[in-house]
Amino acid sequence: MKKAVIYARFSSDNQRSVSIDAQIRAIRDYCSKNNILVTDTYIDEAISGTSANSRVHFLKMIEDSSKNNFDYVVVHKLDRFARNSYDQAYYEKKLNDNRVKIISVLEQFNDSPEHVILKGVITSMNEYYSLNLSRETKKGLYENFYNCQHASGMPPLGLDVDKETRKYVINEEEAKIVRLIFRLSLEGNGYAFISNFLNKKGYLNKRKRPFGKGGIRDMLLNEKYIGNYILGKKNKKGQLTGREKIQEGVIPAIIDKETFYAVQDIFKNRIASKKSNAKVDYLLTGFCKCGECGGSYSGAGKIKGRSKQYDSYGCTSRKSKKTDCINPKIRKEVLEHIVFKAIKDEIFSPDRLNIFIQELTKKIDDQNKNIDVLTKKNDQAIQNIKNKKEKLLSLFLDSHLNEDEFKPKNDELELQLIEKIRERENLNRGNGIDVNKIKAYVRKLVEGLENKNVSIKKQILQTFVEEILVFKGHITIRLKFFGLPDGGNDGGSGGN
């Protein structure tokens, strides 16, 4: 039986924590029907999908994929994984290198070139949706900031929101836990120790769940605890902007400033002062094999040229002396030039591009034939759920149901409604993919061959390259595409 982990996320815009429950329930139902064993769940709450840098549990999942403990990452929709094309390509490549695939419950893809391109089109649409949503969301955020009101989502532990004024008030029982966390940090304890200590004591976070390292870190950095309301501290990539707006003393303070800034100093002292060397993108790693011994052929550091040093690819078995392989290294720029030239000549010729667009358009038309019928059914289901919610509310207001009876039934209907609304969004977006969007996306790929856009080049490799075999005297490139003859493209000596 194949193994999978769940990744779920709700952002800090218009979503709520019940969205997480709806996602997880839909994913578990999918895995059960498809005979997939769920082994773990990674959740990022009130975190935007436009940047992976701020998603602690997402990054932990990517790291764990190298342990070969699971075969799939299952998400409810692709935009839960990433909402920009760079992160989509970069992190999906990391998973693929570890032999882990992404499954989207509401968007079914396979490994064929047309489905990889379709996934790219949808990712681009998600990116546009995210940018448009960001513009609308910022308007509300500025209003909340100037009125010192809670924006959305769950307030931090130790603070509640007054229902009438939407301003923050202290929850004294939770505030005791917050003060304990800062005290433990001042004593020099790390995130893991603090979270384990709290969990052993039986304390729970704001969502009534055990504490995690990421949550402890976020709390210790949160200036709301000293009364500051901050807007625009980070950009969409999770980086500090230095242009944030601050209103001091407008929130009831739980921690004194001396304690808070002492903890921040501890953080600064833990950061390594040395800057890491510039990262080299070995785009072909994971695609190349040594044709002489069958070993991996990947990034191999610098080799000497006549006047300077060059980055290179090489046989890892030769480097580790596992075999007697004599296959030499090849300059990175030379090998990548050969591969991308082969793709340009064999894939992106006008005749083959037209075949590709025709095939992909036909697939989308087939998918859209039943959209009108499905949309009507979905609209009826949404209306039925809303009617049930109204009847349930009437029974509660007329005292036919008490609060303990009303709340679980209402929560269940809320989850059903969220699922149906998400299905409706997916139907709308699927219906919005036409031949012009496909052509625009393909043009984007073609342009990517001519520039240094790493994310697009990675998408091209994932879509069209089956295997690259580097021999001592020549290179064989196996491509996958409609109408392409069996066999490879001989890349010649490649400068060996």
In the predicted structure, residue 205 carries a pLDDT above the cut 90: yes
Write down the pTM of the prediction: 0.39
Highest mean pLDDT among 61-75, 238-252, 406-420: 61-75
Q: Distances in Å between the alpha carbon of 267 and those of 34, 244, 274, 427?
A: 45, 20, 16, 46
Please give the pLDDT value at position 321: 74
Question: Helices marked H in 147-292 — which ranges?
Answer: 172-186, 191-200, 213-221, 257-270
Do the bridges between strand 245-247 and strand 330-331 make them parallel or antiparallel, or are there none, so unpaired?
unpaired
Q: Give 305: exposed, middle or buried? Use CB within 10 Å, 0-12, 13-18, 19+.
A: exposed
- Residue 118 burial (C-beta neighbours within 10 Å; 0-12, 13-18, 19+): buried
| pLDDT the model gives residue 6 | 94
pLDDT above 50: residue 494: no
Give strand pairing partners of 315. 297
pLDDT in tens, 34-52: 999 999 999 887 555 455 6
Predicted confidence at residue 13, as pLDDT, reads 43
Is the predicted pLDDT of residue 82 greater than 80, yes or no?
no
Grouping H, G, I as helix, E, B as strand and the rest as coil, residue 322 is coil
What is the Rg, in whole angstroms, of the alpha carbon atoms belonging to the chain?
A: 26
**Average pLDDT of span 427-447:** 70
Closest CA to 91 of 75, 114, 69: 75
Q: For position 489, what pLDDT does the model report?
A: 52
How confident is the model at residue 210, as a pLDDT? 94
**8 has a pLDDT exceeding 80:** yes
- Average pLDDT value for the chain: 79
Helix runs in 398-495, H state only: 403-431, 435-448, 454-464
Mean pLDDT computed over 288-292: 93
Report which of 462, 456, 440, 435 is spatially closest to residue 357, judged by C-alpha positions. 435
| Of residues 358, 426, 492, the one with CA closest to residue 125 | 426
Tell me what pLDDT residue 338 has: 94
For residue 27, is pLDDT > 60? yes
Query: Is pLDDT above 90 for 31?
Result: yes
Question: At 31, which helix (H) or strand (E)?
Answer: helix 18-33
The fraction of the chain above a pLDDT of 90, given in percent, is 30
pLDDT value of residue 496: 31
Nearest residue to 496 (alpha-carbon basis) of 330, 333, 289 = 330
Least-confidence region, from 150-159, 285-294, 405-414:
405-414
Q: Which residue has the tokens 């490994």?
A: 111
**pLDDT of 98-148, one tens digit each?**
999 989 887 766 555 555 665 565 555 555 555 555 555 566 667 777 888
* Cα(274)–Cα(212) distance, integer angstroms: 28
Task: Give the integer Cα–Cα distance in Å for 359 and 115.
Answer: 11
Q: Could you write out the DSSP letters of every residue in 123-173?
A: HHHHHHHHHHHHHHHHHHHHHHHHTT---SSPPPTTEEE-TTT--EEE-HH
CA 215 from centre of chain: 18
Amino acid sitting at position 322:
K
Q: What value, to the nearest 5°, has the Cα angle with vertex 113 and ends 358 and 470?
A: 135
Terminal C-alpha separation, the chain = 44
Residue that the structure tokens 């218009």 belong to: 14
| Statement: residue 77 has pLDDT above 50 | yes
**Surface-to-core class of residue 461, CB atoms within 10 Å of its CB (0-12 exposed, 13-18 middle, 19+ buried):** buried
Q: How many whole angstroms separate alpha carbon 138 and alpha carbon 113?
A: 38
Is residue 173 predicted with pLDDT exceeding 50? yes
- pLDDT tens for 370-423 read 777 888 888 899 899 988 888 888 887 777 878 778 877 887 887 788 778 777
pLDDT per residue as tens digits for the range 216-242 = 999 999 999 999 998 876 655 455 566
Which one is predicted more confidently, 199 or 351? Answer: 199
Determine the pLDDT at residue 272: 46
- How far apart are the C-alpha atoms of 27 and 63, rounded to whole Å? 21
pLDDT at 203 over 50: yes
- The DSSP letter of residue 99 is T
Q: Please report the sign of the dihedral spanned by the C-alpha atoms of residue 313, residue 318, residue 323, residue 324.
A: positive
Higher pLDDT, 59 or 481: 59
